[in-house]
Amino acid sequence: MKILNSTVKTIAALCIIGALFFSCSTNDTDERGTLVIKLPGSASARNAFTDFTELKYRIECGNSLEKVSLNAGSGVSFSISLSPGKWTVTLTALDAADQKIGSSEPETAVIKGGKTTSISIYVALDEYPYWGETLELFGQVYGGESQDYNFDKPYDHNADVYVKENTGGTGKISEGKLTFIIGAPGTKVSLKELLQKTDMYSNMDLSHDNAKGAFLDLGAESLKSGNNYTLRKKSITDTPPSTITEGVDYLYVDRDVTITAESDLNLNLKKGWNALYSKETITGNTGTFSLSLHNPALKWVLEFHGNDGSDSEPGKQ
């Protein structure tokens, strides 16, 4: 009987130890969660990047306790196992030679043990200004719900996004995040006449005088206040005695065309959407201006235009 009791006690003890071991193993597994990173964009837009067949990404996740960095091949979705907590996630686009060609803004993800968290991250390809027939725009928007705005203040409301002087395109701002897509614009005009309407493009020549085009002029109407805004990728940097203004304009052309000017300007536009980067530096009463095919990761900024769309000079906070 003593032997039997001892055997029962031993079996019971082993069961308890086994149960504890199983419980601990299960908890260890549940302690980690899965982060799924999605790259927004349609297949047609991604196919425009024909020069980047070897495109890949470096994913960096970090918080106050640890950092995780890994390289991932080309794709539109990635999964990473992370410990629970709040993580900051950034993506860097690399070419075949592991050279940086683009990056994302930091995004926040909250990981829960045993759960899957999904986030979408837009990577701006800085050195690739050609978008083909489909232009897709994403990113955090900055600005406020009044005439005062701040490039450093994230916009956190909802708004309808529209093309102000053309047709086509659909988009919105949802909790401060922009999504917009447009194909070939519904209205195209003489590219020469289009360029002559703006001071910065007025002294340029075209390789094809019959080329037609359209600029993308985006507006946004707040669903909260009804305020109307101009929406543009823009940056203003004050470094006394100089002020530097940078911006990106998206231009559609109906054929390959070269724009030249006496100031050694030579822009080789491709049929479809092109990103034009402008930089103006004002120092006292003098200024310099440059224009290039470039798509830097500037911030999307709302500039106030009143409740009826009338222009109103915004004031910087």
When the pLDDT of each residue in the chain is averaged and rounded to a whole number, the result is 79
State the pLDDT at residue 77: 82
Distance between CA 186 and CA 183 in Å, rounded?
A: 9
Please write the tens of the pLDDT for every residue from 259-273: 988 777 889 999 999
Q: What confidence category does residue 148 fall into, taking pLDDT thresholds of 50, 70 and 90?
A: low
State the pLDDT at residue 316: 29
Q: What is the pTM of this model?
A: 0.72
Question: Domain 33-124 - what CATH class?
Answer: mainly beta
Q: Distances in Å between the alpha carbon of 84 and those of 25, 107, 266?
A: 17, 16, 52
Tally Cβ neighbours within 10 Å of residue 288: 11
Please write the tens of the pLDDT for every residue from 158-217: 999 999 876 789 999 999 989 899 999 988 999 988 888 776 665 778 999 999 999 999
CA 205 to mean position of chain CA atoms: 32
Q: Which of 19-28, 161-170, 247-256 has the lowest mean pLDDT?
A: 19-28
Nearest to 140 by CA among 304, 303, 300, 302: 300
Q: Does residue 52 register a pLDDT over 70?
A: no
Give 268-285 as a DSSP string. Answer: EE-SEEEEEEEEEEEETT
Tally Cβ neighbours within 10 Å of residue 284: 7
Three-state SS at 235? strand
Q: Does residue 6 register a pLDDT over 60?
A: no
Q: How far apart are the first and last CA of the chain?
A: 86
Please write the tens of the pLDDT for every residue from 58-94: 999 999 999 999 888 766 788 999 999 999 999 888 8
Distance between CA 233 and CA 188 in Å, rounded?
A: 22
| Domain locations in the chain as residue ranges | 33-124, 130-316
State the pLDDT at residue 23: 32
Please write the tens of the pLDDT for every residue from 282-297: 999 999 888 899 888 7
Q: Which of 23-27, 104-108, 117-121, 149-153 has the lowest mean pLDDT?
A: 23-27
Q: What confidence category does residue 310 fall into, taking pLDDT thresholds of 50, 70 and 90?
A: very low
Three-state SS at 199? helix
Distance between CA 157 and CA 145 in Å, rounded?
A: 9
State the pLDDT at residue 126: 64
Q: Does residue 17 register a pLDDT over 50?
A: no
Percent of the residues in the chain that have a pLDDT greater than 70, as a whole number: 76
The residue that leads in pLDDT, 237 or 10, is 237
Average pLDDT of the segment spanning 272-285: 93
